Amino acid sequence: MKKTLPLRAGIDMGGTGTRIVLLDGAREVASDTVPTAWFSTLSQPLRARALVNKLGDLLPAGYALASLGIGASGPVNNQTGIIENSDTLACFSFFPLVAQLRDMLAVPVAIDNDAVVAALGEYHLGAGRGSQRMLMVTLGTGIGVALLDKGEPLRGSDGKHPEAGHIAISGDPISCYCGLTGCWEMLASRGALQQALARELPDLQWNADTAAMLVESAIARPRVAEILTRYGESVGRGLTTLLTLYGPDLTVLSGSAAALLPLFKNGLDAALTRASGYAVNSNITQSSLGDAAGALGAAILPTLRETRQL
C-alpha cells in the first residue's frame, strides 16, 4: 500500500472570506478562499461538514491530514474552543465547531483568535522572525491586534485575547458595535478608509491593484493624498497608545490596508512623534506573508500547542 504523507491544514475565518491552506512542512501545497457568507446559507449542523468537505477537495492524492488549526475573527473562548462573535462571524459562533471537526476528522484541532494566529504566522514564518516582542496590527474589514512576547501571545486574565483594535482614540461621536464612541476600528480600519475615499473615488473596489491605483490617484489628486494622510494619523493615534503600553521591538502591519503604508506613512509618523523621553519604538514593517499569514499561522498552531511552544 502506498504511504500517505501528512499535511497540516489552516483555516482563517474572517468576516468576508474563509481561507484554507494545506502545508507540507512549511511549504504551502494548496489553498482556497470561500466567501464566509456562503456558510451562512447552510443550516448550522451542516457547516462543520462543509469545512471538512472543502478540506477533502483540496487534499492532493497521496496525502492525509495531520492536524487542523483555525484562526477566527473576534472573541474565541480558549477553554471551550467556541467562537463568540455574533457581530462579524455569526455563522461559526456559539456552537461546538471545534469538537465537531475533531470528531469528523479524527486529528488534533486547535483554535485561536485570527489576529493571534496571523501574528504566529509572521513570527515563525514571516516578517517577525527574530523579534523578541512583536506587535501585529491587522488593518482589514476591522482592526485586529496581537502581541507576542518571545512568541507567547498576551492574553487577559480570563484567557481571552484582548480586543485591542477597539480602543477610544478620538471624540468622534460615531459609535462602534463594541459599545465605544470614537473607536479606533471605526476610524482606522480599511473599511473606514474606503468610506473616507468613497466621495473622491466612488467606483473604488478593493483588490490586488488598489494600492497601485491609489498611488496614481494620490499623485494626481491632492484630496486623495490628504485623505490617506489623515488615515495614517488615525492609524497612528491608536498605535501610539499600543506602542506606549506594550513596548514592542517590532510592529508588523498586515491586512489589506497595510500595502498602502508608503501612502499613509506621513500621517502615521506625525501621529507617532512624541517628546524626547516619551518616544515610542516606531520600527514598523509590512507583513511579508500578506493575507496568507492567518491561515499559515493557524496551520502551525496545533504543532506549537503540542510542542508546548504556546
Interface residue list for Zn ion (CB under 5 A): 166, 176, 178, 180, 183, 185
Min dist. Cβ of residue 114 to Zn ion (A): 16
Tell me the C-alpha distance between 309 and 109, whole Å.
Answer: 16
Min dist. Cβ of residue 189 to Zn ion (A): 10
Min dist. Cβ of residue 176 to Zn ion (A): 3
Q: Which of 174, 190, 88 is nearest to 137 (CA)?
A: 190
Min dist. Cβ of residue 169 to Zn ion (A): 10
Q: Which of 56, 63, 58 is nearest to 4 (CA)?
A: 63
If the CB atoms of residues 81 and 144 are measured against Zn ion, the closer one turns out to be 144
Please list, in sequence order, all residues whose beta carbon lies within 8 angstroms of the beta carbon of residue 127, skipping any fewer than 6 positions away.
250, 252, 285, 286, 287, 288, 289
Q: What single-letter amino acid sits at 147?
A: L
Q: What angle do CA 43, 48, 49 make, to 5 degrees?
A: 85
Min dist. Cβ of residue 85 to Zn ion (A): 13
Tell me the C-alpha distance between 207 and 271, whole Å.
Answer: 28
Q: Which grid coordinates are listed for 285? A: 514593517
Q: How many CB atoms lie within 10 A of CB 99?
A: 14
Tell me the C-alpha distance between 72 and 297, whole Å.
Answer: 12
If the CB atoms of residues 80 and 175 are measured against Zn ion, the closer one turns out to be 175
If the CB atoms of residues 185 and 291 are measured against Zn ion, the closer one turns out to be 185
If the CB atoms of residues 15 and 297 are measured against Zn ion, the closer one turns out to be 15
Min dist. Cβ of residue 118 to Zn ion (A): 19
Q: Which of 136, 177, 173, 138 is nearest to 154 (CA)?
A: 136
Q: How many CB atoms lie within 10 A of CB 283?
A: 13
Min dist. Cβ of residue 67 to Zn ion (A): 33
If the CB atoms of residues 62 and 179 are measured against Zn ion, the closer one turns out to be 179
Q: Which of 104, 91, 95 is nearest to 41 (CA)?
A: 91
Quick check: 142 and 88 in contact, CB under 8 A?
A: yes
Min dist. Cβ of residue 183 to Zn ion (A): 3
Q: Which pairs count as long-range contacts for 217-221, CB under 8 Å and 24+ apart, including other chains?
A: 218/263
If the CB atoms of residues 12 and 185 are measured against Zn ion, the closer one turns out to be 185
If the CB atoms of residues 30 and 168 are measured against Zn ion, the closer one turns out to be 168
If the CB atoms of residues 132 and 181 are measured against Zn ion, the closer one turns out to be 181
